Amino acid sequence: MTSLDAIDARLSAVSELVQSEETFHAVRDALKGVQKVDLDKLIIQLAALDQRREAIENTVKTAYDRMGQLLDLQKIIRNIPAIGRATSDCACILLRVIGEVPAVRLCRSNTMY
């Protein structure tokens, strides 16, 4: 995908959300539970855990940080089905593909708590 293709796909997604108030509100409501979670940062932190396992001291702060990361991950996992339902019927491919992600289909069929 060229950067121009990416820009066009994003513009299409924004256009659909602007034109469909129902879709906009469904997506917004689905994302409310994860609005304060920095997914990129969380992924980096969790991936770095294995690489620096020996360097981590077992401190209260480390345990507190890890617990926070796991709770953030739990928030994301719990919101996957709602995000998938909100985007599965969209005309825009960029939005629709979220509803087609295998993890979303799996979460729709299983209750995750």
Asked whether the predicted pLDDT for residue 112 surpasses 50, the reply is no
pLDDT tens, position by position, 76-109:
888 888 888 888 888 998 888 876 765 555 555 5
Residue of 105, 91, 99 whose CA lies nearest to 30? 99
Is the pTM higher than 0.85? The answer reads no
Q: In whole angstroms, give the CA distance from residue 3 to residue 55.
A: 39
What value does the mean pLDDT take over residues 67-84? 85
- C-alpha to C-alpha distances, 70 to 39, 51, 76, nearest whole angstrom: 12, 17, 10
Which pLDDT score, from 0 to 100, does residue 66 have? 82
Q: In whole angstroms, give the CA distance from residue 4 to residue 11.
A: 10
Percent of the chain with pLDDT over 90: 15
